[in-house]
Amino acid sequence: MNKKTTIDSANDFAQSYDDYIHNCHWIGSDILFGLMYEYIESNQTLLDIGIGTGLSSMPFKQFGLTIYGIDGAMEMIKVCQDKKITEGIRQIDLTKDQVWFEDKTFEHAVSHGVFHLIGDLKHIFKQTALILDKNGCFGFTYEGMQDSADDYKESSIVGIFERQNLESGIKVFRHTDKYIFELLEASGFQLLKKTEFLAFVDSNTKAKTYFNVVIAKRK
């Protein structure tokens, strides 16, 4: 994966991202919040992994949670900071295996619309387990393999399929349920909920993208 290209693409997209998502009738953040609702309280903290412009954190912020974020694209971070919805944001390249926080934990974490741009998620699950309090919830989405793989080909890692996006030049990924569930178990998470939903319809091509959403609890 060309990691620099992915981050550069996000930076270039930052100023128009919210308008694009609105036109695509993006509802994933509402679904993620709804599935986590019974496990959260208004005075808790939440880390948004790949926070972007902050759209996925908005329902949690409105509910009363204190929001923190990490993201690799500085232009996305700037847009999010302008909204003043976070207590703090760190620039972290999520494609790299690095420590996010050495002295801070959170009660919950989310990552929405991110994993199809990453590929190998092992380090993300590892770091999420480290920063989550016991019994904290981790809600995330990924593009699965339920339907035809189209032009996706299995990568060097079993359970991860990839293809080159001809328009943007970056690689995008799909993950099998087996790959995701094994990561959850290895990282000390218990599966609570899982479902599939229509994530968005591209406003230009009308192509439909489906995401799986998972809610898991740190044991």
Q: Which of the pair, 24 or 82, is modelled with greater confidence?
A: 82
Q: Is residue 162 helix, strand or coil? A: strand
Block residue for tokens 């693409």: 9
Quote the CA–CA distance of 119 and 140 in Å, as a whole number: 14
Block residue for tokens 């944001």: 89
What pLDDT is recorded for position 1? 36
Domain that holds residue 207: 3-218
Q: Across the chain, what does the average pLDDT equal?
A: 90
pLDDT at 128 over 50: yes
Please report which confidence band the pLDDT of residue 2 belongs to, taking 50, 70 and 90 as the band edges.
very low
Helix axes 177-186, 122-131, angle to 10 degrees: 40
Q: How many domains, in total, are found in the chain?
A: 1
pLDDT at 147 over 90: no
What pLDDT is recorded for position 8? 77
Per-residue pLDDT of 41-64, as tens digits, reads 999 999 999 999 999 999 999 999
Cβ atoms of residues 11 and 73 within 8 Å: yes
Question: Tokens at residue 139, please?
Answer: 């809600």
What is the mean predicted confidence (pLDDT) over 135-155? 86
Per-residue pLDDT of 97-115, as tens digits, reads 999 999 999 999 999 999 9
CATH number at residue 88: 3.40.50.150
pLDDT at 118 over 90: yes
What pLDDT is recorded for position 169? 75
Per-residue pLDDT of 171-208, as tens digits, reads 899 999 999 999 999 999 999 999 999 888 777 778 78
pTM (global) more than 0.75? yes
Quote the CA–CA distance of 8 and 152 in Å, as a whole number: 23
Per-residue pLDDT of 64-88, as tens digits, reads 999 999 999 999 999 999 999 999 9
Q: What are the residues whose beta carbons fall under 8 Å from the beta carbon of 114, sequence distance 6 or more?
A: 49, 50, 94, 140, 141
Quote the CA–CA distance of 207 and 111 in Å, as a whole number: 23
Strand duo 208-218 + 189-201: pairing = antiparallel
What pLDDT is recorded for position 38? 98
